[in-house]
Structures are given as C-alpha cells and as structure tokens.
C-alpha cells in the first residue's frame, strides 16, 4: 500500500525557500570555517563584563587568542580560566582588548552571547518529515537542521554527513560528547539511498574517529520495512555493537509517513502486522544483546509496541533512559511517579467533575491505568478521547504531532466536559503554539472550553485535574521530556 500525496499549491523547494534563510547555514560550510565573532546579547549590571566595559551589541571575536565562532566556543574558552583576554569589536567596527580577572575559574562573567545559526543537512532522506509537511505550517518546521552543536547541547540527531575533518577535530578537542547520530544502515549504498545522497562520509569513518578519541554517541535507526530490516538490520546492529561503549545505545524507531509525502520514493508502511512480526523476530536478538552487555544497548521505541498492540517494556535498569527523546521508555517514564499520583488522589470530589483526556489514536491503552485510578475517586470521571491526525494523515499517531485544528474539532465534537487535557508535547513551550501555528489561547477562545496541557507524567496528569477541580496546589513539573521535546527550540 502506498499513499498518494494530496494536491498542494506549492512545491517543497518553494516552501523550503520560504523558510527564513537566516535560520540556517549551508551544509557545505564547515562550522569550524566560520568567521570568528559572536554578538553580545546581554551584559549583567555590575558584573565582571560590565565593569570591563563590554556592551550589548558588541562582537566578541577571541578569548585568550582563541577564535569564538559560536556559543560552544564561548563557553569552552571562558571555562576553567581565571584571567580572560577578550577581544571585542564595537558596533562601529573598532577593535579593542579587555582583560577580566575572575576570583575563581568558575566565577560568572555576566555576559551572554547570541545563539548561533544552525547548519542544514543537505540530505533528502526518504523518510524526512520536512518533505512530508503540508503548506502553512510554522516556518521553522521547513528547516532541515543538522548541527552537531545542537546534537551535543540538546540531543538532536545528526547524520554526520556534514562533518568536515576540522569539525571532527573540534568535537574531540572540546569534548562535545555524547552526540546523537542517525545511522539507519552501515551498508553504504543503502545508507546513501536512505539519506537521498550520492556521496556521504562513510559512517565507519565517524565510528572509528569517535572510538579513537574516546568520544561517545547514541545512535538511531529509522526502520523502513523491506529496506533496512532483516539481514541489513542484523549487519547494522553487529557493526554498531562492535563499537560499544563508543556507541552507547541504539534506538530503532518505526518509519512514519504522513499523507503529504511529495517527491519521495514509495515506501512500505509499518502496519500492526508488520510491527508484531518485527518485534517477535527481533526479541531474541535484543535479549541476547542485553545479556551480553548487561543492559539493553539496542532498544525499540515504544511506538512499535503501541502500533502492534503489545505490552511496552519497562526499563527498570536505567536511572535515566538514554533514548527517551526518541520515544524509548516514554510510557515507562510517564508512570514513574504513579505512586505519588495515587497518594494525592482524594476519595471523593465535592462536586462531579468530567474530564476529557484528548490524545493520539495510539495512546488510550497507555492511559488505562490512570483512568482506573481516577475512577477510584467518587465524582471524578475521565474519558479518553483519541484524535485521528487528519492534518498529517491517520497513520501518524504520536501525540507530538497533534495539531490545534484537529484537537479543536475533537473538543467541539465532545462538548460536555468540564475540563479538556492535552498532551503537552504538541505545544511549543515558550509561546504555547501548536504545529499549525494556532495558539493554546486561540484554541480556548474558539472552543470556549477549559483546556489544560499535561507537561509531565502520571502525577502531573492527576495534579492538572485536581488543581482545576478542587484548587489543589500543583507540583512543579521537572525534567519530563514533554517539556523539551520536539518543538521547544525551533
């Protein structure tokens, strides 16, 4: 079965051109070849930098003679030194040097520099989400970023194909580790086909460099049925495991296809039957790997199990799950504070309270246990309402891709609830915008309903209800991947 892309008015090229060009630098430019100089965005009043006369808007070009090309260089060079010689260029282009002496190597300079422009990838991956977007989404979504600095800072995945030798040397020198690498296959012909490239730096070169320099990486394989599964997957796993512990972990995630695939080759979708067969076929190998290495180095994203209708694994071995951002262990993590949620659940509410937990089509089994807990409270009724992702297509069933428009329709079709809960990861955190640019405030206004996003796990789910229903104080949500996942930084 292949999907025919719906007609749209603009080509991908046009849409990519519409993306703000200032958001990226070309893949052909090595980050390390960039001119030194970062703009000072803020100087804290009374700080060492302020006392040295540094002004916001000026350019910092060197620290102790070392070029500063971006935030990473800045923090690398100011750390661990007590005396800093800052080469500054004024707004009028005049250069001067100021010396700052810190009381201790860790003392704050009181200076922030502007975030760097990210590098784009130059790939045309057969599963690229950017090539599967409809028109009129947020501009930044059309940017195909691939930047090892973001990989280091935020855990975003890179293919490594833009890495120049000088970038690798910088990664080793500045210890930008671990990085997150998309591998997909170690057979170079297949890898290049998956990445949509004619030429790419062989992945083995990157693996060898990381091993030699004692760097680490987390890897992912986007699994495309009949392409990089079977013997190809075996070969990819064998090779990556030879590089353990350089390769710290391997996440296998299922191919996702929206209904807007345009100019991409036809692919075999991951169906329920395929997911079941795939999991059953791979299980013995995964068990063997876990036994040999003492931990599950290779892991399947939860989405596999949800598509297959099978129980999701529990990752009790990990204090923090290394591939949580990739959906590995997300369900397990969601329930980690379930006991705390149980403790705060009252026996009874002073008045009846009906809640609609709106979520993706795959999530109702995940919420079952929580709904049962809520049923133990007299007066509280929670219904789970799965929403078909009409904008991207019904085969897209992750919560992070639910749009304001689809959620709004679901709320209008189910009007009789006191409160509507949404998964927090479908909102960009800093401006509370959905992928289709609708804001949470607009959705509330359009529907006239009480809508609250859930940003954490089970405890936050219960807290969000009780805060609204009975004014109970809300626990602070910390370190949940929903807070940082997907769209927080674009």
Residues within the interface to ligand SF4 (CB under 6 A): 121, 123-125, 128, 130, 144, 146, 159
Q: Which is nearer to ligand SF4, 126 or 237 (CB)?
A: 126
Q: How far is the CB of 460 from ligand SF4 (least distance, A)?
A: 31
Q: How far is the CB of 123 from ligand SF4 (least distance, A)?
A: 4
Q: Which is nearer to ligand SF4, 400 or 456 (CB)?
A: 400
**Reduced 3-state DSSP string for the chain:** CCCCCCCCCCCHHHHHHHCCHHHEECCCCCHHHCCCCEEEEEECCCCHHHHCCCCCCCEEEEECCEECCCHHHHHHHHCCCCEEEEEEECCCCCEEEEEEECCCCCCCCCEEECCCCEEECCCCCCCCCHHHCCCCCCHHHHCCECCHHHHHHHCCCECCCCCCHHHHHHHHHCCCCCEEEECCCCCHHHHHHHHCCCCCCCHHHHHHHHHHCCCCEEEEEEECCCCCCHHHHHHHHHHHHHCCCCEEEEEEEECCCCCCCCCCCCCCCCCHHHHHHHHHHHHHHHHHHHHHHCCCCEEECHHHHHHHCCCCCCCCCCCCCCCHHHCCCHHHHHCCCHHHHHHHCCCEEEEEEEEEEEEECCCHHHHHHHHHHHHCCEEEEEEEEEECCCCCCCCCCCHHHCCHHHHHHHHHHCCCCCEEEEEHHHCECCCCECCCCCEHHHHHHHHCCCEEEECCCHHHHHHHHHHHHHCCCCCCCCCCHHHHCCCCCC
Q: How far is the CB of 480 from ligand SF4 (least distance, A)?
A: 25
Q: How far is the CB of 146 from ligand SF4 (least distance, A)?
A: 5
Q: Which is nearer to ligand SF4, 123 or 357 (CB)?
A: 123
Q: How far is the CB of 9 from ligand SF4 (least distance, A)?
A: 22
Q: Which is nearer to ligand SF4, 159 or 464 (CB)?
A: 159
Q: How far is the CB of 114 from ligand SF4 (least distance, A)?
A: 23
Q: Which is nearer to ligand SF4, 183 or 355 (CB)?
A: 183
Q: Which is nearer to ligand SF4, 115 or 124 (CB)?
A: 124
Q: How far is the CB of 278 from ligand SF4 (least distance, A)?
A: 21
Q: Which is nearer to ligand SF4, 196 or 393 (CB)?
A: 196
């Amino acid at each position: 079965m292949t999907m025919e892309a719906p007609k749209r008015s603009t080509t991908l090229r046009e849409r990519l051109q519409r993306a703000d060009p200032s958001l990226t630098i070309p893949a052909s430019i090595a980050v390390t070849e960039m001119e030194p100089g970062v703009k000072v965005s803020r100087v804290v009043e009374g700080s060492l930098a302020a006392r040295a006369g540094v002004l916001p808007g000026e350019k910092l070009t060197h620290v102790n003679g070392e070029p500063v090309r971006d935030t990473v260089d800045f923090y690398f060079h100011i750390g661990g030194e007590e005396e800093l010689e800052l080469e500054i260029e004024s707004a009028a282009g005049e250069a001067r040097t100021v010396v700052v002496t810190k009381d201790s190597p860790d003392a704050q300079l009181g200076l922030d520099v502007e975030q760097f422009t990210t590098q784009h990838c130059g790939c045309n991956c057969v599963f690229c989400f950017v090539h599967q977007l409809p028109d009129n989404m947020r501009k930044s979504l059309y940017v195909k970023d691939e930047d090892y600095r973001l990989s280091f800072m935020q855990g975003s995945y890179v293919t490594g194909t833009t890495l120049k030798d000088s970038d690798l040397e910088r990664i080793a020198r500045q210890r930008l580790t671990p990085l997150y690498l998309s591998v997909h296959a170690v057979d170079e012909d297949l890898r290049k086909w998956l990445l949509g490239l004619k030429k790419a730096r062989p992945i083995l070169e990157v693996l060898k460099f990381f091993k030699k320099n004692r760097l680490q990486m987390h890897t992912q394989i986007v699994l495309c049925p009949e392409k990089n599964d079977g013997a190809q997957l075996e070969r990819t796993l064998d090779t990556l495991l030879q590089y353990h512990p350089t390769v710290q972990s391997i996440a296998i995630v299922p191919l996702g296809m929206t209904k807007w695939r345009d100019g991409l080759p036809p692919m075999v979708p991951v169906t329920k039957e395929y997911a079941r067969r795939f999991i059953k076929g791979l299980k013995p190998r995964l068990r063997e790997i876990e036994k040999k290495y003492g931990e599950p180095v290779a892991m399947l994203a939860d989405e596999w199990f949800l598509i297959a209708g099978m129980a999701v694994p529990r990752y009790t071995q990990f204090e923090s799950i290394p591939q949580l951002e990739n959906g590995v262990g997300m369900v397990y993590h969601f329930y980690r504070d379930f006991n705390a949620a149980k403790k705060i659940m009252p026996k009874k509410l002073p008045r009846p309270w009906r809640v609609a937990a709106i979520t993706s089509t795959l999530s109702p089994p995940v919420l079952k246990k929580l709904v049962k807990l809520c049923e133990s409270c007299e007066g509280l009724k929670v219904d789970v309402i799965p929403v078909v992702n009409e904008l991207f297509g019904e085969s897209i069933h992750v919560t992070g891709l639910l749009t304001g428009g689809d959620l709004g329709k679901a709320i209008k079709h189910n009007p009789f609830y006191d409160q509507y809960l949404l998964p927090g990861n479908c909102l960009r955190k800093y401006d509370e915008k959905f992928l289709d640019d609708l804001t949470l405030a607009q959705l509330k206004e359009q529907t006239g309903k009480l809508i609250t996003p859930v940003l954490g796990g089970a405890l936050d789910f219960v807290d969000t209800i009780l805060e609204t229903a009975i004014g109970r104080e809300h626990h602070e949500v910390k370190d949940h991947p929903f807070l940082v996942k997907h769209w927080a930084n674009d």
